[in-house]
Amino acid sequence: MSGTTLDAPLVPVSPTTRVLACATDEIGEVAADVVATVAPDGVLGVATGSSPLALYTALIRRRDEGLSTERLRLFALDEYVGLDADDPRSYAAYVRAVIAEPLGIPNDRVRVPSGSSPADAEAYERSIVEAGGVDLQIVGIGRNGHIGFNEPGSDAETRTRVVELDESTRRANAEHFDGDLSLVPARAMTQGVATILSARRIVLVASGAAKAAALRSALLGPVTADNPASFLQRHRDVTVVADLDALREDR
């Protein structure tokens, strides 16, 4: 394990969750140590957003140093409804520009949810199953405890579907839409909680005090749809890579 991992300031309820507490600037390398184990040809579930950026940077550097990533298969967690895949604000564009292209993964090995019908959602679920399931799923956590776009109220049985985004989520993401809340799509298609939990391994990355309350109740609190990340307590292999700000007491 690269970097210096510090003693975790909290002990998760679930014995199948391990917490790697590290300095903010070590998150990418520490998470990459875990994620790189699915290379050269595993099925990797990818999150977008800011939390995993350092992880992707670390993977790209490892590719430059010889890690073989071209045969990985990628499945994204979610996508806004109403944004074309060519729109630079779409998650399809993020996955292409930030992950797939720098890792040399061709388009036919990359899947991002698209469309808005139940048939589209079912097709996405099917494509994951046909790939043999996700070997390792990367997730971030929303300030309200969402994973993917499973907002509070999403239960453990949910599968890929279209959801309404919470206003707090749209506000948090408005920075990618010129700060204009009215431009942030109201709906998204997301893998469900059950879809995420069907991955063989899960790595959650989190940094900063804004995530502390959600992360703490996900790891220490009751398993409840009020905090969908708490369902990770039921998974058999979860690694949380987080900085001390994200792991400290609520503030």
Catalog residues that contact ligand F6R under the rule CB under 6 A.
47-51, 77-78, 140, 142, 146-149
Smallest separation, CB 220 to ligand F6R (Å): 20
Looking at beta carbons only, is 20 or 214 nearer to ligand F6R? Answer: 214
CA dist., res. 39 & res. 105, Å (int): 12
DSSP 41-105: T-EEEE--SSTTHHHHHHHHHHHHTT---TT-EEEESEEETT--TTSTTSHHHHIIIIIIHHHT-
- Output DSSP code: residue 150: B
Phi then psi for 238, rounded to 5 degrees?
-120, 130
Beta-bridge mates of residue 19: 240
Residue among 202, 136, 127, 184 at smallest CA distance from 159? 127
Residue among 231, 164, 223 at smallest CA distance from 204? 231
Beta-sheet pairing, 17-22 with 238-243: parallel
Looking at beta carbons only, is 19 or 27 nearer to ligand F6R? Answer: 27
- Range list of β-strands (E), 89-248: 110-111, 136-139, 161-164, 187-190, 201-206, 238-243
Smallest separation, CB 99 to ligand F6R (Å): 11
Q: List the catalytic residues.
A: 78, 144, 146, 151
Smallest separation, CB 30 to ligand F6R (Å): 16
Smallest separation, CB 78 to ligand F6R (Å): 5
Smallest separation, CB 65 to ligand F6R (Å): 26
N- to C-terminal Cα separation, the chain: 30
Find the residue with minimal CB distance to ligand F6R: 140
